[in-house]
Amino acid sequence: MGSHRRVAPSGLDRGATAAVGLLSVAAVLGAVPASVAAPHDDTRTEVDRLHTEAERATEAYNKADERTEQLRRQIDDAQDEIARKQERVNTMRDALGSLAGAQYRSGGVDPSLALLLSAEPDDYLDKASVLDRVTTRQAGELRELRQLLRELAQDRAEAAHKLAELEKGRKAVAAHKKTVQRKLAEARRLLAGLPAGERDAYGRASRSGRTDLTGPGGVPASGRAAAALAAARSALGKPYIWGANGPSGFDCSGLIQWSYAQAGVGLPRTSQEQRYAGRRIPLSEARPGDLVAYRDDASHIGMYAGNGQVIHAPRPGAPVRYDPVGMMPVSSVTRI
């Protein structure tokens, strides 16, 4: 069983925010074809392909978005730490400055306190002759000041590096977002070219698949699985929104993350990471609340609901719903 980080449910839509990526768009996705064959079957096949590619791009977007959010939090923490250390440095400088002023009024400033005029006290403190001119207490304060200044410089350098990485991530997100939007726009264009009856049927149709892959169904494996399944059921009928993790809309991994958050379990954002968030089991042992990942790259994921069905957020235009667990090739089943 994998470890579980307990978190409070987020309950937020995260449709179009930033991402550090990490996969290039070109590597994840092919180019949108300029033309498609006229027959309606070919059109539907092409729409399915575009939706699949958009879904893969969305999961790359989600991974980048999650990394960017982590960087933002780290930068905020680093800036808080820098501010605290700077305040401590200022306090120590003030104290040592008061000592220098007192010495000056009594006839001169001890040479050791000249380091107050320098931002880099290391060279001065490294001279043994200096240590002969300060008390043990003063020497300790000077060493502490030197260490703080070193830490401050290192913290600032790390924060600058993370800021640069964050900016790089923003550009990656924009590229992922643009790719997804292009794929979905092309799919909408193709669907608009179908006769109204076929277009409506495509929108209503459940994905067909093997019906012999049923699993035992029955009782969830744990209380958290039962709570997550109840949350997923409460989302039935909510729209598919790419990059969203509830509560008003979901993409596939967003539904899973949100559902388990309602059970107090924190899961990663992407379907690829979610499949490793617990213990892998055979599909034949699946119980309600288990995660079912699809395709070799785990670019789609749903929650087993029992009786051979999953709850999932299928694609744009198809709301959260039940579908056969064998609707497409299953790559793994994970028990949280």
Q: Can you name the CATH fold of 30-205?
A: Helix Hairpins (1.10.287)
To the query of whether residue 51 is one of the catalytic residues in this protein, the response is no
pLDDT of residue 170: 76
Cβ atoms of 297 and 40 within 8 Å: the answer is no
Of 4, 51, 176, 252, which residue is the catalytic one?
A: 252
Question: According to the model, what pLDDT value does residue 280 have?
Answer: 97
- 210-336 folds as endopeptidase fold (from Nostoc punctiforme) (3.90.1720)
* Residue numbers of the chain with a pLDDT score lower than 70: 1-41, 96-139, 199-217
Query: pLDDT at position 53, please?
Result: 81
Residue 252 is among the residues annotated as catalytic for this protein: yes
How many angstroms separate the Cα of 299 from the Cα of each of 20, 252, 257, 305, 314?
18, 9, 15, 20, 12
Task: Beginning with the edge strand found earlier in the chain, give each strand of the sheet holding 291-294 in spatial order.
Answer: 279-281, 330-335, 291-294, 300-306, 309-312, 321-324
Q: How many CB atoms lie within 10 A of CB 57?
A: 26
Encoding tokens for residue 209? 């698949």
Cβ atoms < 10 Å from Cβ of 235: 22
pLDDT in the model for residue 237: 96
pTM of the model: 0.58
Domain parsing of the chain, residue ranges: 30-205, 210-336
Active site residue 300: yes
pLDDT score for 168 = 80
Summary count for the chain: helices (H), strands (E): 9, 6
Which pLDDT value is given to residue 118? 52
**Nearest residue to 313 via CA among 238, 261, 259:** 238
- Tokens 């000592």 correspond to 99
